[in-house]
Structure 1
């Protein structure tokens, strides 16, 4: 998807958030050092890079030629935390922001106009950060979906309460064509867009009390061919490994941003 960190570029598009809404449509990363970030993710995920229209502090990550993520060297300048942030397609940015505020969430930025759309950076009422985008998406929407993160997961204190919050903000389970379906499976809330799992929400074991020590956050999962190779590359290029298994590992980049690599595409 031809995006900066919070917006698509201005090439012609054929799909808009009015017809496909509620699903993740982009991911962005804040960084302190763009060159180091490019080197790390190039080694770990095989990404290539190009410049973005917002200036030299921004880069677009490419996977097999498809734009999949944005990176902004603004963490130090804007005193922002270094983290991966998912953006969701919204039918109406103003309405979504108003719903967030009405339900106890907060607005960090926006909505800001970035033709051909508008963006906002928000937090839910438990502090998990996310963004919304209203406007045109990628012309090759399905190609982006295949090249993008396999899914995102919200780790939070109360999965059901979180699902209600995001459902009301993003029109989940609205029954409208192009919307997101919400189901409960295996102790998690599972979100599907066009029959593909795009997000999960979990809060620990079934019927367990909410964990007061948990810091709610969205975790981005990237699908890779070789988890072990990604782990080795992360360690060689200044990252660290929080956990690893045969088909999944949680990694931290040199700036401290967490992400997951997995060999299990969600379908």
Structure 2
């Protein structure tokens, strides 16, 4: 990543409170192609974003679920899905990232109705932070957290939990903040009573395989994994990994531009992996 300023804003109404995941964004090369693929694969519709022609907001059942920005070539960033986390103060969070050997590549800068930054943790997993600075002008989306959940594949789950806990104010005990628990050598993140993320160990920073390197993996719940995989292949995507386990099935896919994501009929990161 470079110090340029990709306009990849979260929505006007984040779905969760401070310290929680609030948005996911795809940085891609071709907006029209990405829209066609995700419409066919995940049933999304799109509306233009307020930041220019290269940005659009994906909706499911008229609820904002993700952003897609065709900025990868202009800003020399990899095609990738990136999660954003809500913070009380973007400048403070950015300072904490740097103090703990992470990297702030872009920002903090004005993004929509707030301020945000694009960063990487000390093992190289990319994520964003976002602080709301203006009041919402429309009702928030339903807070059921069913549109996506996250998995961090990293070198050491416990070390990563400490990093994100200190940066994002996890486990403070304050109402609305996220809490962490340790289960079977993994860390599970609960926000507002919902399990939204899981952190697992074993990634290798120098691995050539992007699935093995530290990264945040975005999981989109779907009703039928097999049908979603079939649609993805039909519209130019490919399957990286597919598996069935006790609680359901999931498939990790590449979109035609190389964006990596997972579709799953497992409804929670707590159930996945058990």
> Under a length normalisation based on structure 1, what TM-score does the superposition of the two structures give?
0.89
2:4 is matched with none
Asked if structure 2 preserves the Cα contact closer than 8 Å seen for 1:60 and 1:71, the reply is yes
Asked if structure 1 preserves the Cα contact closer than 8 Å seen for 2:103 and 2:121, the reply is yes
Unaligned stretches of 5+ residues in structure 2: 1-6
Q: How far off is 1:113 after superposition?
A: 1.9
1:260 is matched with 262
Distance 2:95 2:219 in 1: 29
The one of 182, 190, 193 aligned to 2:191: 193
Distance 1:65 1:237 in 2: 23
Distance 1:194 1:81 in 2: 32
> Under a length normalisation based on structure 2, what TM-score does the superposition of the two structures give?
0.86
Q: 1:180 to 1:112 in 2, by over 3 A?
A: same
Distance 1:116 1:102 in 2: 27
Q: 1:73 to 1:117 in 2, by over 3 A?
A: same
Matched, 1:124 2:121: yes
2:80 is matched with 83
Distance 1:86 1:211 in 2: 20
2:50 is matched with 53
Matched, 1:109 2:114: no
Asked if structure 2 preserves the Cα contact closer than 8 Å seen for 1:243 and 1:251, the reply is yes
Matched, 1:43 2:46: no
CA-to-partner distance for each residue in 1:106-140, whole Å, 9 max, x for gaps? 11111112353111111101111000011168765
Q: How far off is 1:145 after superposition?
A: 4.1
Unaligned stretches of 5+ residues in structure 1: 205-209
RMSD of Structure 2 on Structure 1 (CA): 2.0
Q: Which runs of 4+ in 1 moved over 6 A?
A: none
**Number of positions where the alignment pairs a residue of Structure 1 with one of Structure 2:** 252
Q: 1:241 to 1:91 in 2, by over 3 A?
A: same
Q: How far off is 1:185 after superposition?
A: 1.1
Asked if structure 2 preserves the Cα contact closer than 8 Å seen for 1:67 and 1:144, the reply is no
Q: How far off is 1:86 after superposition?
A: 0.1
